[in-house]
Amino acid sequence: MIDLREAQSIAVLTGAGISAESGIPTFRGPGGLWRNFRPEELATPEAFARDPQLVWEWYLWRRRLIAAAEPNAGHRALVELERRTPRFTLITQNVDGLHDLAGSQRILKIHGDIWHSRCSACSYQRRDRSTEEMPPPCPECGAMLRPGVVWFGESLPRIVWDEAERAVSQADVLLVAGTSATVYPAAGLLHLARYVIEVNQEETPFSDRVAVSLRGSCGEVLPRL
Ligand code: BV8
Ligand code: ZN
């Protein structure tokens, strides 16, 4: 059993579960973000090409939900853990920006950021808190802007992903919190870790293979950790 207080380097991987207690529905839970659609129907470039308005509105709905949300005790516990740990990397699959709001410093957003929009045709991108009903036109080339997130079938940002792999392979402990560990390559990070502590309300495909599997909510377990 590794004592977190002794760990010199810690990597953390978070998923939608850490934002659930901030009122943001998870992807696959009850009343999840996908409730009326299957993930592949919305979070894909094909869906955006087929119906940009529908996909854009879905992200607009999420932006509004997220704008009203506050970081919770789970996010704040990770800020505290970062303060106490010599080498610390927070890898998140979440695009909601609540880790930034909570005060985490070293964050690797492997699935992008809902508060970014980027051009569907050129390399233009910008921070975007707008809530325009239609996908706005790119000021550089006129093509439609799209949410700055990684969709299914799209590759993860190269630099960020390489840093995440390095952080996990060099860490004494990988703390995995609030993820179903079903989406790859993110879930593959668990295979790179020396020692994994999992925090989840339910079992995941990794629960019986991690060193420690803590059953409970992030908001309750992480502060205790
Ligand atoms: C890629 C951003 C190729 C957008 C997201 C078959 C097998 C293996 C892989 C594949 C396959 N078919 C297709 C693939 C690849 C695919 C994939 O993995 N599909 C899955 C569905 C099988 N992956 C991709 O397409 C990736 N890209 O592979 O590219 C490639 C390679 C090279 C070159 C070109 C292309 C891209 C994946 C990224 C997709 N984008 N999000 C957006 O947000 O809109 S994924 C989305 O779901 C999230 O970002 C998150 O990463 C992911 C998983 O969700 P979770 O965060 O885990 O949330 P979930 O609801 O699932 O679980 C919540 C958990 O929390 C639960 O366990 C629950 O118990 C727990 N919980 C809830 N409340 C609490 C709690 N725990 C504690 N406390 C609580 N309070
Ligand atoms: Zn453009």
What domains can be seen in the chain, in order of their start residue? Answer: 1-23+71-111+156-225 (3.40.50.1220), 25-68+112-149 (3.30.1600.10)
| pLDDT tier at 32, thresholds 50, 70, 90 | low
> Which residues is 154 bridged to in the sheet?
none
Whether residue 114 contacts residue 59, with contact meaning beta carbons closer than 8 Å, is answered with yes
Residues 6+ apart with CB under 8 A from 83: none
Q: Which residues contact 81 (CB under 8 A, 6 or more apart)?
A: 4, 10, 12, 88, 175, 222, 225
What the block records as the tokens of 201 is 């309300």
Which residue lies with its CA nearest to atom 10 of ligand 1?
184
Residues 212, 20, 170, 162, Cα dihedral to 10°? 140
* Residue 184 beta carbon below 6 angstroms from any ligand 1 atom: yes
Q: Please count the other Cβ atoms lying within 10 Å of the Cβ belonging to residue 36.
A: 8
Q: Which residues pair with 116 in a beta bridge?
A: 127
How do beta strands 145-149 and 112-119 pair?
A: antiparallel
Q: What's the pLDDT score for residue 34?
A: 61
Q: Is 43 in the pocket of ligand 1 (CB under 6 A)?
A: yes
Res 61: pLDDT: 87
List the beta bridge partners of residue 174.
11, 196
Q: Which atom of ligand 1 is nearest to the CA of 32?
A: 60
pTM of the predicted structure, to 2 decimals = 0.96
- Report pLDDT for 130: 78
Residue nearest to atom 80 of ligand 1 (CA): 217
The verdict on the CB of residue 217 being under 6 Å from ligand 1 is yes
pLDDT higher than threshold 60 for residue 35: no
Rounded to the nearest angstrom, the distance between the alpha carbon of 118 and the centre of ligand 2 is: 8
Q: Whose CA is nearest to atom 64 of ligand 1?
A: 179
pLDDT at 160 over 80: yes
* pLDDT tens-digit series, residues 38-59: 766 799 999 999 999 989 988 9
Q: What pLDDT shows up at residue 94?
A: 98
* Residues annotated as part of the active site: 111
